[in-house]
Amino acid sequence: MTIENLINLIDGKLISSPSIKKVEGATIFPSKVELGDLFFAIDEESAKKALQNGAYAIVFEGDLPIEENDVAYIKVTSLQEATIKFLRYIILQKKQKIFYMNEIESALLKQILLRKSKLFAIAPNNWQKRFELILNSNYEIIILNDLECAQKLTPQYLTLEKKCKGEIIDDSLLKTTFKLEKFIYQNIPIPPFYFEYLQKVTAFLKQFDTPYDINKIHYFNAFHPFYINNFLQALPKGKSDKVVIFTNHLPTINKALLYIKKSSKWTKAIVITPPEIKLEENLKPFWAKNNQEVQAILKREYFTFTFCYQFNAQEILDFEDFNYSLF
């Protein structure tokens, strides 16, 4: 790519007087720079390392001293936005497809996938690693769980629409038995309102002939329950009627509360969140500023289920005698 086209592509401003006219490859990691490459610099130190490795052009935001006037120094308003603009061009050139999957869909996909696909990859949430994956990989499909990023990269981003045939046979908040295609899966550790996500994920994998195993599903950050006693000790399943569900996914809490309301009017559920978090239907959670306040609420309040949003189970519960294999 010529320097002139690059500047126009990323809306940059050339502040040096280079003799070079074009660049070959591109990267955001200085260790991967090869002679003639374009480098997107996070800071001055990374720019120096890139120059030592043979970078012909440096894209940066803010202030950066010109170490070599023969190198193209291109200033942009936002480095991250510049990488997005550059990736739009790359995606068009490679004819890559961008899929958006929400947090639950991408988590289930990772769990049930039996082997790494040569066709698609799930992009990291870190924007630098995501940039590098899209830029320097040969995957035909890139999966993002950042909707804003997908929208910026291409207006033609795709979502999971098709669903495998299936139905729920039996369910509780913590486990679901269902039929998917021709097979019945018993007591799979997902709440029933995740089943539709699973139908879409399996349809995606079948579409691309990718093997998967439903029995690999386990609890994850969006929904991770623990049975506890009054001393906040984690117990094996069935050893208590009190369950604390740790989650980083607010929609999960809203769906779970709706499920509890419909399925069992005698079940008491409470929610603990950091201050100022709001739930749907004007339900007011208990606000806790720290782990100690969470522990105090768990010891004080009566409940069957407690949802702890954005708190770490390892820092709140006692796992000294807990055996994960029994849960």
Model confidence over 197-221: pLDDT tens digits?
999 999 999 999 999 999 999 999 9
Average pLDDT for 149-177? 96
**Dihedral angle at the C-alpha atoms of 278, 280, 283, 285, nearest 10 degrees?**
-40
**Banded model confidence at residue 298, pLDDT cuts 50, 70, 90:** very high
Model confidence at 62, in pLDDT bands (50, 70, 90)?
A: very high
Cβ partners under 8 Å of residue 164, min gap 6: 180, 181, 199, 202, 203, 206
Q: Would you state the structure tokens that stand for residue 316, as one six-digit string?
A: 């709140």
Cα separations in angstroms, 227 against 98, 195, 233, 305, 307: 40, 23, 8, 9, 12
Asked if pLDDT for residue 19 goes beyond 50, the answer is yes
Band (pLDDT 50/70/90 cuts) for residue 264 is confident
Q: Is the pLDDT of residue 283 over 60?
A: yes
Whether 290 shows a pLDDT value over 60: the answer reads yes
What is the pLDDT at residue 239? 86
pLDDT on residue 265: 78
Domain range annotation of the chain? 3-80, 84-159, 166-216, 224-326
pLDDT of residue 135: 93
Gyration radius (Cα) of the chain, Å: 25
Across the chain, what does the average pLDDT equal?
94
Q: State residue 322's pLDDT score.
A: 67
Residue 326 predicted with pLDDT over 50: no
Spatial contact of 78 and 67, defined as CB atoms under 8 Å apart:
no
Share of the chain above pLDDT 70, in %: 98
In this predicted structure, the answer to whether residue 327 has a pLDDT above a threshold of 70 is no
Which CATH class, in words, describes the domain spanning 3-80?
A: alpha beta
Instruction: Tell whether the model's pLDDT for residue 324 goes beyond 70.
Output: no
Q: Are 22 and 9 in contact (CB under 8 A)?
A: no
Give the 3-state secondary structure of the chain: CEHHHHHHHHCCEECCCCCCCECCCEECCHHHCCCCCEEECCCHHHHHHHHHCCCCEEEEECCCCCCCCCCEEEEECCHHHHHHHHHHHHHHHHCCEEEECCHHHHHHHHHHECCCCCCEEECCCCHHHHHHHHHHCCCCEEEECCHHHHHHHCCCCEECCCCCCEEEEEECCCCEEEEECCEEEEEECCCHHHHHHHHHHHHHHHHCCCCECHHHCCCECCEEEEEECCCCEEECCCCCCCEEEEECCHHHHHHHHHHHHHHCCCCCEEEEECCCCCCHHHCCCEECCCHHHHHHHHHHCCCCEEEEECCCHHHHCECCCCCHHHC
Other Cβ atoms closer than 10 A to 307: 26
Angle, helices 127-136/79-94, rounded to nearest 10 degrees: 30
- 193 versus 325: the higher-pLDDT residue is 193
